[in-house]
């Protein structure tokens, strides 16, 4: 039963990943991160993604703070935030978020405040969707790891039974 759980959870993870790739939410850079994870850095992907969440939320707050100011004119500062957001989104394979940043940057380069506001709303939406899906992915992975850990003692007990007098 537990064996089936592990396999089912692995299948769930693969299905979710396939969906995220199909939707263009993630790209192959995310696979590169997974390939860097090994026994010496078993939590590398979740560690990196958590850094991304922390930094992204700071950047989103900064962008919103700039744009809600009616006297706002510092498009250069906005460009700096967007460059960082683009770079970090590319680095974890967050393709759709990155693409919105590109459009946002284009509006910012044209000093188009209305365009920037629209882009910010879309960016917040895409980021929120990405964050929820990655949380879901990590939750399934945690469940799979727990299920695999619980399965092992059961197998050990089963092997020991024939030796009991």
Nearer to other proteins, 70 or 76 (CB): 76
CA 152, 40, 156 angle in degrees (round to 5)? 10
Nearer to other proteins, 110 or 155 (CB): 110
Instruction: Report the interface residues with other proteins, using CB under 8 A.
Output: 29, 32-33, 35-36, 41, 44, 47-48, 51-52, 55, 80, 83-84, 86-88, 90-92, 105
CB of 44 to other proteins, least distance (A): 7
Give the 3-state secondary structure of residue 71.
Answer: coil
CB of 119 to other proteins, least distance (A): 16
CB of 105 to other proteins, least distance (A): 8
Give the 3-state secondary structure of residue 72.
Answer: coil
CB of 38 to other proteins, least distance (A): 9
Nearer to other proteins, 32 or 142 (CB): 32
DSSP 164: -
Q: Which residues contact 50 (CB under 8 A, 6 or more apart)?
A: none
CB of 143 to other proteins, least distance (A): 26
Residue 94 dihedral angles phi and psi, to the nearest 5°:
-85, 80
Nearer to other proteins, 5 or 29 (CB): 29
Q: Per DSSP, what are the bridge partners of residue 41? A: 38
Cα 79 to Cα 84: distance, rounded to the nearest angstrom: 9
Nearer to other proteins, 32 or 155 (CB): 32
Pick from 83, 100, 96: which is nearest to 29 by CA?
A: 96
């Amino acid at each position: 039963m537990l064996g089936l759980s592990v396999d089912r959870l692995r299948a769930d993870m693969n299905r979710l990943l396939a969906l995220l790739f199909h939707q263009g939410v993630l790209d192959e850079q995310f696979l590169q991160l997974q390939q860097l994870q090994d026994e010496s850095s078993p939590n590398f992907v979740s560690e990196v993604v958590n850094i991304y969440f922390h930094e992204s939320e700071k950047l989103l707050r900064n962008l919103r703070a700039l744009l809600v100011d009616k006297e706002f004119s510092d498009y250069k500062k906005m460009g700096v935030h967007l460059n960082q957001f683009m770079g970090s989104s590319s680095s974890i394979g967050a393709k759709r978020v990155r693409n919105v940043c590109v459009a946002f940057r284009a509006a910012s380069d044209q000093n188009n405040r209305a365009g920037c506001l629209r882009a910010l709303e879309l960016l917040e939406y895409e980021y929120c969707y990405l964050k929820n899906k990655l949380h879901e992915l990590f939750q399934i992975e945690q469940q799979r790891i727990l299920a695999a850990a619980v399965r092992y003692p059961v197998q050990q007990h089963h092997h020991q039974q024939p030796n009991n007098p």
